[in-house]
Amino acid sequence: MALYRHDSYVLDLSGKSNDKAKVYRDGILIFQGQSTHAIPIFVKRCDSPEVTRKFYSNKTRQNLTNEL
């Protein structure tokens, strides 16, 4: 799929759809597992409206804001 970068974080979704996704901070692996878990970790750690918009719809963003 793709590789996403924001500041010191990298989200690696380059494997097959069911493969493990990876989240790195400063080149150090901080999470390896399903993309359904990796994406929220990446978005939360980046703490950026642009990153949130990239991965979530308006409705999902509102739910995330309400939960935080």
Q: Encode pLDDT of 11-51 as tens digits.
A: 999 877 667 899 999 999 999 998 889 999 999 999 999 99
Q: Report CA 47 to chain centroid distance, whole Å.
A: 10
- CA 51 to chain CA centroid, Å, is 8
Nearest to 35 by CA among 68, 59, 2: 2
Higher pLDDT, 56 or 44: 44
Residues in the chain: 68
- Residue whose structure tokens are 């939960």: 67
Q: Which of 43, 37, 4 has the alpha carbon at shortest distance from 20?
A: 37
Determine the Cα–Cα distance for residues 29 and 9; give it in Å rounded to an integer. Answer: 10
Q: Is the full-model pTM beyond 0.85? A: no
Please, which pLDDT band fits residue 68 given cuts at 50, 70 and 90?
very low
